[in-house]
Amino acid sequence: MEIVRVPVLSDNYSWLVHDADSGATIVVDPGEAQPVLDAAAARGWTIDAIWTTHWHPDHVGGNAGVVAATGATVIGPEAERAKIGALDRGVAEGDTVAIGAHEARVMHVPGHTAGHIAFHLADDAAIFTGDTLFALGCGRLFEGSPEQMFDNFRRYADLPGETRVYCGHEYTQSNGRFALSVEPANEALVARMAEVDRLRAAGEPTVPTTIAQEQATNPFMRATNVGEFKRLREGKDSFRG
C-alpha cells in the first residue's frame, strides 16, 4: 500500500492511498479537488472513494469536484451527514472500510467536531487522524470537551508505537514551540524540534509522525489526567510563541 501526501489550501494535507494489487485508490480529506486529481493522474491512478474524517470545509471542500471527475464514493461520519452533504456511506465507531484487501477500522474521536472519526489500518500500521492528533499537538475543541479529547488520546496512545500518524495539517513547528514551553528540558523534544526547524527551513514536510514519537514529545499525549490535558489545551489556545 502506498500513501502519498498532497498539500492543499494553505497548510492542509490530503492523503492519496493506493493498493497496487487491486488498483484501488482512495483520498482522505480532499480539501480541494484539483491537487488530488492531478497527483492521482500523475501516477496513473483513478480515485475510487473519499474517506472523510469530519465536516469542516478545508477537509471536504474538494469532495464534489473529485466525485464529478471520478464518480468516487464518499464515506464519512454518519453523525455529520447533514453537514457533509453528499455522503454515500455513513460510518461510526467499530465499522470497517476497505481499500483492496486493506481494512480500516473506524474510531469515533469527538472533540474537534462532534462526529469526528479516524481511520485505523492496523495491519498496515497507519492511522488517519484528521484534526484530532497532530504532530506535537492536538486539535482545537470546537464541538466537544477536554474529557472527550483526552479519551481519544488515551486510545491513540494504546496503538503500537510504530503506527504512522497521517494528520490533516502542517502545524508541527508552531505546535513544537508550545511543547517546548511546557517541557523545555525534554531532550527528545529538543532534538525533534531541531529537525522540524531544519525541515521547514528547507520547505519540507514534517508528517507523518508515529505514535512513539508523539508519546515521547507531544505534551497532549503525555498528559496523565483530564485536568492536565485541559490546562494544556487552554494554554495552547492563548499561546503566542
The reply to whether 169 belongs to the active site is yes
Determine whether the annotation assigns residue 124 to a binding site: no
Nearest one of 9, 4, 54 to 31, comparing CA atoms: 9
The reply to whether 56 belongs to the active site is yes
The reply to whether 38 belongs to the active site is no
Measured distance CA(28)–CA(209) in Å, rounded: 17
Which runs of E-coded beta strand occur in 9-138?
A: 12-19, 24-28, 49-51, 73-77, 89-91, 96-99, 102-108, 117-121, 126-130, 133-134, 137-138
Determine whether the annotation assigns residue 108 to a binding site: no
Contact at 8 Å (CB) between 152 and 109? Answer: yes
* 38 to 5, 75, 149, 167: CA distances (angstroms): 12, 21, 35, 21
Determine whether the annotation assigns residue 102 to a binding site: no
Measured distance CA(122)–CA(127) in Å, rounded: 8
Q: Map residue 195 onto helix, strand or coil.
A: helix
Please identify which of the residues 18, 102, 112, 116 carries the catalytic annotation.
112
Measured distance CA(154)–CA(111) in Å, rounded: 14
Amino acid at 172: T
Determine whether the annotation assigns residue 120 to a binding site: no
Please identify which of the residues 19, 29, 48, 58 carries the catalytic annotation.
58
Please identify which of the residues 18, 54, 116, 120 carries the catalytic annotation.
54
The reply to whether 120 belongs to the active site is no
Determine whether the annotation assigns residue 56 to a binding site: yes
The reply to whether 102 belongs to the active site is no
C-alpha cell belonging to residue 117: 472519526
Please identify which of the residues 18, 59, 108, 116 carries the catalytic annotation.
59
The reply to whether 108 belongs to the active site is no
Please identify which of the residues 29, 48, 56, 108 carries the catalytic annotation.
56
Please identify which of the residues 108, 116, 120, 169 carries the catalytic annotation.
169
What residues does 89 pair with on adjacent strands?
Answer: 75
Residue stretches of the annotated binding site: 54, 56, 58-59, 112, 131, 169
Residue stretches of the annotated binding site for Zn(2+): 54, 56, 58-59, 112, 131, 169
| Residues annotated catalytic, as ranges | 54, 56, 58-59, 112, 131, 169
